[in-house]
Structure 1
Amino acid sequence: MAFLPTTREEMLEQGFEQVDFVYVNGDAYVDHPSFGCAIITRVLQAYGYSCAILAQPDWHKDEEFLQFGEPRLGFLVSAGNIDSMVNHYSVNKRRRDHDAYSDEGIMGKRPDRPTIVYTQILKRLFPNKPVLIGGIEASLRRLSHYDYWDDKVRRSILMDSQADLLMYGMGENTIVEVADALNSGLEAKDLCYIRGTVWKTKSLEYLSDYIMLPSFEEVKNDKYTYAKSFHIQHENIDAIAAKTLVEPYDGWYVVQNQPPLPLTQDEMDFTYSLPYERTFHPKYKYIPAIEEVQFSIVSNRGCFGSCAFCAITHHQGRVISSRSVESVVEEAKSITKLPNFKGYIHDVGGPSANFSKEACNKQREFGACKNKECLHPKPCNNLIVDHSHYLDMLRAVRSLPNIKKVFIRSGIRYDYLMYDKSDEFFDELVKYHISGQLKVAPEHISAAVLDKMGKPRKELYLKFVDKFKQKNEEFGMKQFIVPYLMSSHPGSDLNAAIELACYLKKIHYTPKQVQDFYPTPGTPATCMYYTGLDPKTMRPVYVAKTYEEKAMQRALMQFTYPKNYDLVYKALKKAGRLDLVGNSPKCLIPYRKGNGYSKNNFNGNKRSEYKRGRKA
């Protein structure tokens, strides 16, 4: 099966005078099931609809958008696999110089907010043809939202782009239903009944059983109202338990229908059985984003974790969809046939690798609880901890010919693992599925910060670390934990950052990279960052917002670096913790004389002291 056409010449060569849909994408064209463009277009193709791919068009040239002519049914627009603003800017709002989703990593192949830019161009050039938007950028901006880069509340992207319809969440079933409706002769304005869509209207005459949210003007002008509105939205992300949401605008209503139902196992298997080329289009030299996923397998979707800084639940929902063992094995077999395969499957997993079943028996029928999390602040009494299906997948894949090793790199929920009464998965994880280092995400040590993150307390993480060491000794392995840690998350003040630094001192570990909290649409933590309120309780939350304090929190996590000395000293002084400056073992940094360091404070060897501090 060939790549889908990316130029008019390729379209004609494949026998199409006109395609049903033109998919306009902010990423380069990669036909791999880790890329939303590939999934949506291959699903449409499987249902008999033809598609052309307009990847990274030059938005300054109308002719690029005109090259395929007018599609029979409409245009599909996506910014790409990640939000364009995250792709373009660091957390400090500095322009990045590398784009993993563009040819040779070259930055500048798409505009900021391409969903809006592309859609407005298409509406101007093809005023009578439907333009439908989707993908992560549209999904997480489907209602009014705080925008970190503009530092203000923006309207629904449906209003800003003037698209005819927005599709949110994982869209296989949604896009087929939309395509069938358009194919039957319905107009885009009539597609107001489909799950996983957002539409606008001037009248609610025919709408019933909905929740009226505060208006855009209200949430824009009042942070308390914004937090209340966000909490209502967050309570209505489950496909079964959610209600229709309505957000008023000046003269309009934006209506969010119920989320799409989680895919069944058969539907998941179907999606990943489609004839993907599993690489980028040959017109490109190299797309860096393929590197991490070409030899990886997506085994599940959704996440019932409670991480406040993550938008997965807002996009994919809390109910897990999982593939069959047979489906995963077939994909693994296809990977072994790729010419550059070296025998290593890089990952089998999803948002949380070891979530392969619903959290409890009630979720498929009744949905996820609105006012209760599955894992936080403690595991629900109804939680079923079961790694058996995931184990079956891993065992089947690693037993295949030509496969040397199967790694798990997409992230293990260590709390869920620790709640398992059986050590069977833990044993096999240590023996077979780690490439020397296991990356896990405690994120912090401070109880106050972890509570705002929706993460388990440090005691559970420390028990996990001890058990991991014991398992490695038991099986004669020398493997290490690499903890993901975050600075400046809402709830983290200098005292919390110092507490984390003291823990890092105790374990003789300095993270090579530090992730500063990045406020992105669709997360409770972003709501906290903007409003200073916890949307669950409406109580105040401490937020580090100044560049200086965020820099100090980052520096404290890397207190062993000489370049961070001044910031660390300033942070300790500001927090009244100069007891941590000096020669004693508990101190984070030594005394400094003038512009240099005292040799006595480093036992005569500054370099070796810092080297020991970085030891994992």
Structure 2
Amino acid sequence: MDFLPINIDDMNKRGWDQCDFVFVTGDAYVDHSSFGTAIISRLLERYGYKVGIIAQPNWKDLESFKILGEPKLGFLVNSGNIDSMVNHYTSFKKKRRNDVYSPGNKPNMRPDRAITVYSNRIREAYKNVPIIIGGIEASLRRLSHYDYWSDSIKRSILMDSGADLLVYGMGEKSIVQIAESLESGIPISEITYINGTVYKTRDIERPFEPVILPSYNEVTSSKKQYSQSFKIQYENTDSITAKTLVEQYDSIYVVQNPPMEILTEQELDDIYDLEYMMDFHPIYNNLGGVPALDEIKFSITSVRGCFGGCSFCALNYHQGRIIQSRSHESIVKEVEKMTVDKNFKGYIHDVGGPTANFRIKACEKQEKYGVCKDKSCLSPERCKNLVVDHSDYLNLLKKIRKVEGVKKVFIRSGIRYDYAIYDSKDDFIKELCKHHVSGQLRTAPEHVSERVLKLMGKPSIKTYNIFVDKFYSESKKQNKEQYIVPYFISSHPGSRLKDAIELAEYIRDMGHTPEQVQDFYPTPGTLSTCMYYTGINPLSGEEVYIPKSIEERKMQRALMQYNKKENYELVLNALKKEKRYDLIGNNSKALIRQRNKN
């Protein structure tokens, strides 16, 4: 067992004259099951394909893309585990100073819009080799999309990258079918029949019974058309009910096939049971390693998918809403492997996924009919068909705690507090407080304004407060000093200054201000981003207030940390603008003091 080849010497050691696939990625090479590059490359290896890795090539040097030679079947390209623009820029479009997915936290190891740059350079090096793009950056940009960084509507990434085929979603089944098709001699231009893929064609007759989206020209000239297009896409993300979608670019049509069917438990087990090195490549040993591995090296992916329905989250668009779970046996086996690692100290950092306490499908209906197109499982209220049951997750956690060498099992990926309190048994909150909190539990109420929460797809703040009370009550019973650290978002679509002030008052009454705050980040593929660009809620057609000015966004953000000296003027201006003079002064409810004019 070894890392996959990264140069000709590695290929020679394996006796390879040529790779079947060369995988170009924007991340450093980490062979761990939390990295998409590792999963896809190891899966192809299991099916007998020879895969080489080019991690973080110098995109200014064409030779960097030739170090493994021309692959027999094609190039696979992703930007890494994160969109390259999100990786590079803050929500205020300021350049980030580090990159946890690069050796030693070093920034600028990948270009902006990495997939497009890599694919164009590969095409320069090899004119006719198939290029297949995937990962989060491709998945969320598969059709025309609002691009926050240029403040414009960009074309499908297939158009700008010049790639032949795009894989969206998690991609395991799709990539195997693509590989088998290429190996059988089918030209890449004819591989138009695989679910979970997007392709280009000049023949509108090629897709079968498609839904025609507004054209690229239409969505760039009309925000209403863009909103309508997004709604259709949003309603076609389920593998059981989704239709083929077609978007026209003058004489070219971009065709999105329906999503690939979800993985069975056995299929998911098989993917996580592959022989990963579970480490970064040794070439990074003297460069500071790859920091992103630190938190997840001893974490477990338990599930995929999320029926939470948060508007600002792209999971609905990428992983889908149906829960896919690994078996207890597979997870315990992975834990047992961890315990023999020389760096393992007895602590499992996380057992979860997009939402840790979702281990079962939301309802029985989803098995046959897929997810509902017109309503959410949890927002604005709990669906009457929602099945709330933590027993499987709790049994799993108990099994992990019993593994020899395990001292503590933490839950650090998000939990849905509303789902937790809907469980009449209260067993989950009891077990959470007793065994799985590392002093602080991070939660995500996101806001307090009922209007904003509804647009966010989040439950009422009253629901969150019930969870908080239960958490502290249970912690007290167990004589544990544990705290909740809430996570809030400022300047989300719908949030006015008065809503931000309401949030600031809630934070004041909590008794402590958050150390870190997040301004809303309009990333491709989310319902919230569509609202941000259009000022329309695409699901209802209603107009939505958008705090777009830098001044207002800074004020909303500052209000969440109103007691910081550097935020004083921003908070003062916000309070004056809303005529909330009652919050300026020396009384116990004031957010800031009135400064002496002298």
State the AA in 2 paired with 1:582: G
Tell me if the contact between 1:23 and 1:76 (Cα under 8 Å) persists in the aligned partners. yes
Q: Which runs of 5+ in 1 are unaligned?
A: 596-616
Pair 1:304-2:300 in alignment: no
**Where does residue 608 of structure 1 map in the other structure?**
none
State the AA in 2 paired with 1:518: Y
**Where does residue 256 of structure 2 map in the other structure?**
256
Inter-partner Cα distance in structure 1 for 2:426 and 2:554: 41
Q: How far apart are residue 461 of structure 1 and its match? A: 0.6
Inter-partner Cα distance in structure 2 for 1:439 and 1:204: 49
Inter-partner Cα distance in structure 2 for 1:246 and 1:576: 50
Tell me if the contact between 1:30 and 1:281 (Cα under 8 Å) persists in the aligned partners. yes
Tell me if the contact between 2:22 and 2:76 (Cα under 8 Å) persists in the aligned partners. yes
Inter-partner Cα distance in structure 2 for 1:115 and 1:10: 25
Report the TM-score when normalising by structure 2: 0.99
Pair 1:293-2:293 in alignment: no
**Where does residue 62 of structure 1 map in the other structure?**
62
Tell me if the contact between 2:429 and 2:470 (Cα under 8 Å) persists in the aligned partners. no
Inter-partner Cα distance in structure 1 for 2:93 and 2:232: 30
* Local SS of the residue matching 1:593: coil
Inter-partner Cα distance in structure 2 for 1:37 and 1:282: 17
- Higher deviation after alignment, 5-14 or 322-331: 5-14
State the AA in 2 paired with 1:491: G
**Where does residue 234 of structure 2 map in the other structure?**
234
**Where does residue 582 of structure 1 map in the other structure?**
585
- Higher deviation after alignment, 30-39 or 124-133: 124-133
Q: How far apart are residue 391 of structure 1 and its match? A: 1.1
Pair 1:555-2:558 in alignment: yes
Tell me if the contact between 1:241 and 1:369 (Cα under 8 Å) persists in the aligned partners. no
**Where does residue 42 of structure 1 map in the other structure?**
42
* Local SS of the residue matching 1:283: helix
Q: How far apart are residue 392 of structure 1 and its match? A: 1.6
**Where does residue 107 of structure 1 map in the other structure?**
107
**Where does residue 77 of structure 1 map in the other structure?**
77
* Local SS of the residue matching 2:486: strand
State the AA in 1 paired with 2:36: G
Tell me if the contact between 2:246 and 2:254 (Cα under 8 Å) persists in the aligned partners. yes
Please list the CA deviations of residues 182-207 of structure 1 after superposition, one character each: whole Å capped at 9, or x if unmatched: 11110111111101000011112233
Over 6 Å off, 4+ runs: none
Q: Give identity over the alignment, percent.
A: 56
| Cα RMSD, aligned residues only | 0.8
* Local SS of the residue matching 1:229: helix
* Local SS of the residue matching 2:226: helix
Q: How far apart are residue 313 of structure 1 and its match? A: 1.1
**Where does residue 385 of structure 1 map in the other structure?**
388
Tell me if the contact between 2:207 and 2:244 (Cα under 8 Å) persists in the aligned partners. no
Match of 1:467 among 445, 466, 470: 470
State the AA in 2 paired with 1:193: Y
Aligned residues: 595
Q: How far apart are residue 208 of structure 1 and its match? A: 2.4
Pair 1:513-2:543 in alignment: no
State the AA in 1 paired with 2:54: L
* Local SS of the residue matching 1:371: coil
Inter-partner Cα distance in structure 2 for 1:300 and 1:508: 35
Pair 1:128-2:110 in alignment: no
Pair 1:4-2:4 in alignment: yes
Match of 2:422 among 408, 416, 419: 419
**Where does residue 323 of structure 2 map in the other structure?**
320
Pair 1:276-2:276 in alignment: yes
**Where does residue 341 of structure 1 map in the other structure?**
344
Inter-partner Cα distance in structure 1 for 2:389 and 2:547: 39
Inter-partner Cα distance in structure 2 for 1:206 and 1:566: 60
Q: How far apart are residue 377 of structure 1 and its match? A: 1.1
Tell me if the contact between 1:447 and 1:458 (Cα under 8 Å) persists in the aligned partners. yes
Matches within 5 A, 1:564-579: 564-579=567-582
Pair 1:32-2:35 in alignment: no
Matches within 5 A, 1:453-464: 453-464=456-467
* Local SS of the residue matching 2:329: helix
Inter-partner Cα distance in structure 1 for 2:512 and 2:314: 29
Report the TM-score when normalising by structure 1: 0.96
Inter-partner Cα distance in structure 2 for 1:21 and 1:106: 28
Q: Which runs of 5+ in 2 are unaligned?
A: none
State the AA in 1 paired with 2:548: K
Match of 2:376 among 366, 373, 377: 373
Q: How far apart are residue 364 of structure 1 and its match? A: 2.2
State the AA in 2 paired with 1:67: I
Inter-partner Cα distance in structure 2 for 1:78 and 1:62: 17
Pair 1:14-2:14 in alignment: yes
Tell me if the contact between 1:214 and 1:247 (Cα under 8 Å) persists in the aligned partners. yes
**Where does residue 152 of structure 1 map in the other structure?**
152
Pair 1:543-2:546 in alignment: yes
Q: How far apart are residue 556 of structure 1 and its match? A: 0.6
Inter-partner Cα distance in structure 1 for 2:89 and 2:537: 26
